[in-house]
Amino acid sequence: MEEENESKYVNDYLSELVMDSAARQKIIESKGFCNYHFYKLLTAASKPASSDGHGIALINKSIIEALLRDFHKQKVLQVSSCDKMLAAENSCPICVYIAQFSERYASKILELISSENEEILNNLKNSRGFCIPHFVMLIHKTAVVPFQNQKIINMLMEVEEKNLCRLHSELSEYIRRQSYEFSEKDRAAIASIVTRSVKKISGRLGIGKRIHENSK
């Protein structure tokens, strides 16, 4: 859901917000986007049916103008001021939006768990749990429901431990099948476990540091 929300936001940003002067000024002040989201925007804008390269060109032109102004302010470039040329850490507008979305989503999950709805609890118990970054966020968020704090933590831990054990078993089987006795077909049958284990440990690509910061 987070990934779908991010893609929609990127497309909306390109098609609607990128031409807004206030939104553009915010981007200029932050020296653009983080590396991951800048390339994601570029990919979206480079699709054959898209003409959104124009919007990115306007933003980049303004960022470069700001960089040139910084250059002209200093006759001799100071080493200590070089960091200001980089995108401001943790100020990527898309990272901020996704982190806020994740925080709201985490709060909603805890609200649903707290309702003790049998169907919701069964769905949670039968799910694959959460990636570790989101799991940590949820644990931190349990502070908002102190009267059920430990009960929710225990439930989340039970689901997470069960799924970590399953992944551990699948990884062991993947490693075992790397032996010459197994065919390519045998290996291919469980090849997805490597990607799934990375996503479990690190979260999806581009999840960013703000997930961790907003969880505290």
SS3 state at 163: helix
Name the domain boundary from 63, 89, 115.
89
Query: What total number of domains does the chain contain?
Result: 2
Whether residues 116 and 67 share a domain: the answer is no
Query: What confidence score (pLDDT) does residue 51 get?
Result: 59
Whether residues 85 and 150 share a domain: the answer is no
Whether residues 142 and 104 share a domain: the answer is yes
- Written as one letter, the residue type at 7 is S
In a structure prediction context, what are the per-residue pLDDT tens digits for the chain, which is 216 residues long? Answer: 678 888 888 887 777 666 677 777 878 878 888 888 889 888 888 776 555 677 788 888 888 888 888 777 776 666 666 666 676 657 788 888 888 888 888 989 998 888 889 999 999 999 999 999 999 999 988 877 666 788 889 999 999 999 999 999 999 999 999 999 999 999 899 999 999 999 999 998 877 655 555 555
Q: Which of 26, 57, 29 is nearest to 41 (CA)?
A: 57
- Where in the sequence is the domain holding 58, given as residue range(s)? 2-89
Whether residues 136 and 75 share a domain: the answer is no
Q: Check residue 79 and report its DSSP letter.
A: G
SS3 state at 90: coil
Whether residues 84 and 120 share a domain: the answer is no
From the CB of residue 74, how many other CB atoms can be counted at a distance below 10 Å? 9
Name the domain boundary from 89, 109, 139.
89
Name the domain boundary from 34, 61, 89.
89
Whether residues 164 and 201 share a domain: the answer is yes
Whether residues 64 and 17 share a domain: the answer is yes
Whether residues 136 and 175 share a domain: the answer is yes
Please state at what angle helix 53-73 crosses helix 35-45, rounded to 10 degrees: 140
Whether residues 117 and 193 share a domain: the answer is yes
Whether residues 75 and 168 share a domain: the answer is no
Whether residues 98 and 179 share a domain: the answer is yes
Q: What is the pTM of this model?
A: 0.76
What is the rounded distance in angstroms from the CA atom of residue 210 to the CA atom of residue 97?
10
Whether residues 205 and 168 share a domain: the answer is yes
